Every structure is written in structure tokens, then in C-alpha cells.
Chain A
């Protein structure tokens, strides 16, 4: 018996070593960002190496701890760079996307869940099929439609429209699944009591589906908050950048303001990372369910 526990402890030691090794790999880039951000400089290197560095000097150069700790990058990025403006832009775009996206998805999902009407099956299938359309095939026409035809290039409205509409199919399928679980009897009794369709939807169904609506809203928000390609393609003026485009601006091309980039990344990531860790169980079940359906 004692022998068995000891062999278990030994194998656990190896397991711990294995897990610690991968945890370090997983965490290292995060520590790297913190180190660069708190170094107070724009350098990529953590320390200045002596002319003929030895093993220990090199080791010091990879240990993610800044030579001097300073909040300079954080204060500079919000005061001297238009970063706060970009954050605000991102917040506006994400908030509008969330409101519009949730409205569009809730109404459609309710109709698909509660009504039998000609075109219902075709509509739902078309939403599913649209998920197979590759992004780049849509990107050029959407770009032409938004910038040339609607004249919404370089504006938040164009971005909000594209974000909220492209998120519709996923949100509709998720919400429809939840609406299906709400018993029909509740609505029937409400109709008996003389409630109108609108009253049923806004006063009964939406409050009952609050958890699903909240998750949909958070996903819409995170998609818009993290989106890079469309924003980079559509927005031309520096004052209109969203935060992702702005971060790329710090280190893209010939710029190398790694300190600003790191400080900005941390400010932007903290809310999404916390949200993500809180929401990940919904995410996994939703994604794998979608995967099985095709």
C-alpha cells in the first residue's frame, strides 16, 4: 500500500514538471508583455547586454523582469498617445454592435422558435449556409458596398453594421436553442389574458431568456472589441482607429514603440480576458455543438 502511494507521488512529480514546463510556455508571452510595459522604455530587450555577454547575462536577458520598474509607458500611452481616444472608439463600436446585434438576433430567433411560416426552414438553413461563406470573398464586396455605395467608409456606422450582421447566424442559432426550452404554455396563458404579441416578446420571453441574451450580448461585444481586419481595412484616419488598429499602429511598418504597445495591450486585454475566463464553458459547448451541425 505504501509502495503504491510512493510510486503515485513520483509519477505526480513528473507530471508536475511537465505541467510546470508548459505553464511557463503558456504564461511567458504574458509575462513578456508585462515586463516590456513596466520597463518604462520602448525597447524589446529587457536589459542592456555587456559587449561580450556570458551565460548569466544572456539568462538575465530572457528572464521576464524589467531592469527598472516604471509606470511611464502607462501614463504616456494614455496622455501622449491618442490611445484613450481609440479605446473610446472601440467602446462606442462594441456597444452599438452589441445593441444592434442582440436586437436583430433576438427578434429573428424568436420568430424561428415560435412561429410556423413559409420560408422558416429555408431561412434557418440560409443562416447556417452563410457561415460557410469565406470572409475574404465577402470582404471585397462588403468593402465596395460600404465605402462606394453607402458612403460609410471610415465611419463607425459601417463597422457596426458589418459586425452585427455577420454575427447574426451564430447568435440566432444560440438564442433559438434557448427559446425552444421556454415552455409554450406560458405564452398561451398570456394570450388568454389578452397580451399582445409585442407584450409577450418584451415582457415574458426576453426576461425569461435573460441568461442567453446576456451571453449573446457579451459575445457580440467581445467580437467587436477584438476585431482587427475589417477595422484596419475600413478606417483610414488615425483619430477613428479602434484599439486593435491603434495597437498595430504602434509596432507595424517601421514603428517600434513596443512599450506603448505592451501597456496598451494590457489595458485592452484585462476586461476581455476576465470575461473570457468567466464565459469559457458556454463558449466550448456552443462551438462544439456548432461543429457537429456543420
Chain B
């Protein structure tokens, strides 16, 4: 490749005079690597802390609303439970701070809206009244919360008893149940804009933490230079790596501790603000209760400041004091999680640092420069493949370990991690036959049933394709036969038509009442068949359609193979007295083997993956009994919207194809070895 030699000529300047001065120090790979590693570490630290603070602020805001709602729930419970007389709920609602939003109180029995400060609920819609049709969601929400409470009591479950729903436009709706005689009798609800001003950690400190290690590393390099031990950029500079790691880690640790301690202060501030809020609500409620003769102040324990499972948090006491031990326990949990994340960041920074100071960066840069044209040409395609093929592949495998559905698609993967649960569910369910009251039935949703159908489907289709293709190719290859070109073009037609159109045509022809196939059966006195009602007949619709689709490919391939067999062999065989039958078995088939084997291999994969025919002709009817693996996976993903489960299903399909691929390569190698 003399072109390559030409290529390298551009880069002979590489070995030119070494740069001196400050630039050489600051742009040395070890220094750059330190800068990059420190920037990654401090940037990620800043981002994680920032997120944690955001969550704390949001959590505190929610708790503020929950305190008000719990107080309200206590009053409503008193009024509804009959321990209070009069019960002017609208006055109670108005006594609470409104914050540009509104409160609603719903009684489940009779679906009554007991009170509301929503401006829409005025005039003839004023509470108390029965819920109307458009407000069914409110009633359903109440039912859901009641079910959650009952589940949690019966099974020590973990279902949320407080519903927090972001509504868009910054509005948030929070609902929780109130109890009469220990049972959920209804819900109280608040809706208002969530306005949070999060105090972000200092970005100046983060920027300093990124730059300081860089300068320190440059200083170290200057010292090495003065000792005449200048580290070569392409060499493995272990000492620089270790020093860099210590410096980056140390500065990163200092930054992290500073941020964490800031966050602790921030948390304490939030808690104090909440305590003030709590005291305010308690006074307002006590005042209202005074007029209503109900006791509403929380008892020995603060039962208004609760988490999403209505368990008291115990941070704010009934008197409005803050329990320092509980607060620091909460801080400790957050810091533990943050600490783990920060260790992960340090690991990422170490990898970057190693890449630079151990010379990989310089060498990569050298290769990139030397072959820049090649990379320039490959880049667009590689980039596309990375984004839309390789990354989705890895992401799909990761998804298969989660319980991602359309409902939680925006949550990060770690939040919905499920381990091997999907695989256990798919592969571990071996009860194909289920016995019910009506006798035993086959569970058509079972993976192994679908696998069985897929294997039957593949084997029968390939068998039909090869047999028909072989017969027709032999017929067309007859010497002296007329019209072969016409036959050939007409017989290829099924392959030429887009297969989704073919599939839909056959679907029409299999129509029970008007389809031509049933007309043909009736022509000979038969009964019309309900093709898609039986497992076997529905399977046959797919087989016929796909058989029709796939024989032309086999025919063309085999015809090509037949035409390349030398006629001399047949002449010699005829002279030796071999019959046509013997010639077929001894000459034709062995000579066709190199053509047929690859064609069969590829058509097995095609048929295994033949989505359109199954999906469009029978659609897997009856009751999913005729799904093949690939249509099943599609339906799980896009009709049941269980993305994680569908991904696991697809991984299983991939593994099956992989095993087939390995097996098939072994087989072909073995046959090649015997034939040559």
C-alpha cells in the first residue's frame, strides 16, 4: 500500500524540536489529564450535590403541604366522625394558607365533595355536592389510596399512602386519606404551584478544584524538568500518574467534604423553616378548632410531619422543636448515598488520568493524526452505528434487567432495576399446561409454547420452501423446455411483491365468509373453515402465505446451482448406465450442496424473524397461540408497553440465534472439511 506511505509523509513534523516554557508544562499530557480528571471529578461532584439539594428542597416543600393536609385530615375526621358539632369545613379550609392554590375534601361514601376552595367550585357547583362525571378521577384516586392503606395493613406492603402528582406548569397536587374509626373515609387534597428556590453549591469552588490540581501538576513537571528528568509525553509516566491521582483525589475530597457540610447546613435550614411552618399551621388549626370544639393538635408524637407512607418522620416534635438526632440520621443517609456516588466519580477521574499520563492519549492522538483521512471517512458511519445500533444493543441488554414500562420510562435505569426477575419469569415458567376447573388448557402466553410454535414454523416453512424450490428448479432446468423464461418471471413474482402487501392479500383470501379460499372449498362441497379460530388452521394460514412468499428465493438459488453443474458428468453417467434417479442422488444433490446449505442457513434466520406474515395475516390468533417469538416480543413492548420485559424476551431470542449461529458455523466447517 504505497498510498499509506504517502500518508505518513504529512506527519514528519512530529519529531521536531520540543516545545519549551510554560505552554509545554501546561499542555503536557499528564497536566492535561490532571485538568480533565479534576474537571470531571469536581463537575460531577457539583452536579450530584446540586441534585441532592434540589431533592431536599422538593422534599421539604412536599412535607410542608403534607403537614397542612394532615392537620386538615384530623379536623375533617373529627367533623365526620361526629366528635365535633357544627363542622364548618369551608371555614377550616379558608383558615389554611392558600398559596395561589386550593384545597378539596372528598368523602368516598356517596362520592361527595364536602368542601373546596377551588374557584371553579363556586355558584351552582359549590360544595357540598355529589361529584360529577368529569371528577371520576378524584373518586378513583380516593379508592386507590384506600386500597393502598388496606394492602399496607394486611401485608405490611410498601404502597404509597400519599399521592404526589406533578401536573405540568409547575402545579403539584398532593392527596392523602383521612380516617374515621380507623378506616379510610375520604381524602383531602391540595393543589398549588411548586415554587422552590434551590441554593446551588458554589461553582467558584468547583472551578478552583478543577484548576488547582492542573497547576500543581505543571509545577511537578517543572521540577522534573529542572532535574533533567522530563517525562516523555508518549511514555508511561507512573510517577506523574500517582502524583496526579493523589492531588486530584485530595482536592476532590476537600471539595466534596465542603459541599457535604454545606448541604448539612442547608438541610438544617430547611428543617427550621418547616418547623416554623408547622407551628403556624398548628396555631391556625387550634384557633379554628377553638371555634369548632375539636381537638386537633398532634399528640405526644408529631403525626402531621409524615413520609409518603404516612409514617411519622420524628424530626419536628409536637411542640415545634427539632430533634437533632433524627435530623442528623436523615443527613447521614443522604451523605452515605452521596459518598458512594463520589467514589464512583473518583474512579472515572482515575481512568481519565491513567489514559493521559500513561501515554495512551498521546499515542491515540498520534494514530489519529497519522490516519486522519481514514478516520475522517469512517467517522460518519461509525457515529451513526454507535448511536443507533451498538448503543441500543447495550442499552437493550441493560433494559432487560429492569422493570421499565411506559409509565416509568423517564426514570433512570437504576431506579427500576429488577435483576434477573424478567428472565426468571420468562424461562422459569414451565407450566405450559394449566389445569383449571374446565379441565387442563395450554397456556398460550408461555414462552416455551411460543418457542415450540416458532420451531414448528421455521422447520415447516424451510422444508416447504426447499422442496418446492427444488422441484420447480429441476423442472425449469429441463433441456429443451419451452417458455422457461416466462415461467421463471411469473414464478418469481411472489418474491418481488413487498411482503406486507402479500400478507394482507392472503389475510383477505382467508376471510371466513367472502375469502376465495373458502369459496374454493365450498366449490368441492366442503364446509367453510374459520381459519383464525383454530390453532392448527391459523398456523396453516401463516405456512401457506410464507410458503408462497419464500419458494421463489429457493428456486432461483437452486436454479443457479443447477446451471453451474457441468453437463459432462451427466453424459459420463449416462454412458455408465446410471438412471435419472441415480444421477439426481449421486451428481445433482452433492453438487448443489454448496448452494443449498447457505441458502437454508439464511432462510432459517429469515423465517425465524418473519414478523410481517404472522403479525399481518393471523396476528397470532387465536388468543396469541400462533405468535412466534419475535411478534410476541413486539406485542409485549408496544401493546403491553412492558419495555424491560420485552427487552429480556429479545435477549433470549438473541441467545437462541447466537447458539444457532455457532452451531451452524461448526456444521458448515465440518461439512467443508469432509468435502474438501
Contact = CB atoms under 8 A, between A and B. Distances in A.
Task: Say whether A associates with B.
Answer: yes
A125 B341 CA distance: 36
B473 to A, nearest CB: 11
Interface in A97-133: 103-105, 107-108, 110-112, 114-118, 120, 123, 126-127, 130, 132-133
B502 to A, nearest CB: 7
Contact of A226 (B409, B498, B615): B498
Contacts of A191: 3, 6
Contacts of B391: 141, 145
A30 B389 CA distance: 37
A134 B654 contact: yes
Contact of B519 (A62, A133, A134, A169): A62
A167 B162 CA distance: 50
Given A144-B409, A164-B384, A288-B598, A23 B487 contact: yes
Nearest to A200: B3
Contact of B500 (A27, A162, A228): A228
B380 A103 contact: yes
A248 B657 contact: no
Interface string A257-294: 01001000100110011001100100010011011101
A26 B490 contact: yes
Given A45-B514, A135-B609, A137-B647, A115 B385 contact: no
Contacts of B553: 284
The 6 A-B pairs of least Cβ separation, nearest first, read A115-B374, A108-B381, A137-B650, A141-B392, A111-B377, A291-B598
B367 A117 contact: yes
Which of B389, B520, B616, B657 has the most A CB atoms < 10 Å from its CB? B389
Interface of A: 8, 12, 15-16, 18-19, 22-23, 25-27, 29-30, 32-33, 36, 43-46, 53, 55, 58-59, 61-62, 64, 103-105, 107-108, 110-112, 114-118, 120, 123, 126-127, 130, 132-145, 148, 161-162, 164-166, 168-169, 172, 184, 187-188, 191, 197, 201, 225-226, 228-229, 233, 244, 247-248, 251, 258, 261, 265, 268-269, 272-273, 276-277, 280, 284, 287-288, 290-292, 294
B390 interface: yes
Which of B482, B505, B556, B595 has the most A CB atoms < 10 Å from its CB? B505
B489 A277 contact: yes
B85 interface: no
B285 interface: no
5 contacts: A29-B494, A32-B508, A115-B377, A166-B389, A288-B599
B475 interface: yes
A138 B552 CA distance: 30
A144 B643 contact: yes
B330 interface: no
Contact of B480 (A8, A33, A133, A169): A8
A36 B509 CA distance: 11
Given A8-B480, A103-B380, A258-B508, A111 B374 contact: yes
B522 interface: yes
Contacts of B3: 114-115, 184, 187-188, 191
Contacts of B634: 136, 139, 229
B165 interface: no
Interface stretch (B13-21, B54-62, B393-401): B393-401
A138 B389 contact: yes
B646 interface: yes
Interface residues of B, number: 103
Given A115-B373, A118-B367, A229-B611, A29 B502 contact: yes
A137 B7 CA distance: 41
A127 B657 CA distance: 17
Given A136-B653, A137-B393, A145-B392, A18 B475 contact: yes
B514 to A, nearest CB: 4
A12 B483 CA distance: 11
B646 A32 contact: no
Given A139-B637, A276-B495, 8 more contacts: A108-B381, A108-B382, A115-B374, A130-B393, A136-B633, A251-B508, A277-B492, A290-B602
Contacts of B489: 277
A235 B11 CA distance: 50
A294 B495 CA distance: 23
Contact of B548 (A26, A110, A188): A26
Contact of B497 (A103, A188, A269): A269
